[in-house]
Copies of this chain bind each other. A is one copy, B any other.
Amino acid sequence: MTNACFYHAGCPVCVSAEQTLLNLLAPHVKVEVVHLGDQKQRVVEAEQAGVKSVPALVVDGQVLHLNFGASIDDLK
């Protein structure tokens, strides 16, 4: 079982894109989703894991920073 942690901050566009990614992940990957806006006490943990921006996926100590390039149109 691979454990992963998905940090985000609640942006609707990002949540939608994250869902796409989470749906793609293999069944053997257990992903914990952490909303840092709601769980500010976990920001330090994210920083210590190497998270520089959100959304980010941390897997086996490796940080994958995700930037979905949301356009203005997506936000309308």
CB within 8 Å of B: which residues of A? 2, 4, 17, 20-21, 24-27, 29, 50, 52-53, 57, 59-60, 62-69
Identical chains bound together, number = 2
Question: B2, B4, B24, B64: which contacts A66 (Cβ < 8 A)?
Answer: B64
Residue of B nearest to A26 (CB): B26
Give Cα A63–Cα B24 distance, bound, in whole angstroms. 13
Please give the distance in Å from A62's CB to the nearest CB on chain B: 5
Chain B residues near A50: list those with CB within 8 A. Answer: 69
Are B26 and A64 in contact, CB atoms less than 8 angstroms apart? no
Are A17 and B64 in contact, CB atoms less than 8 angstroms apart? yes
Known: A25-B25, A26-B25, A27-B26. A20 touches B69 (CB 8 A): no
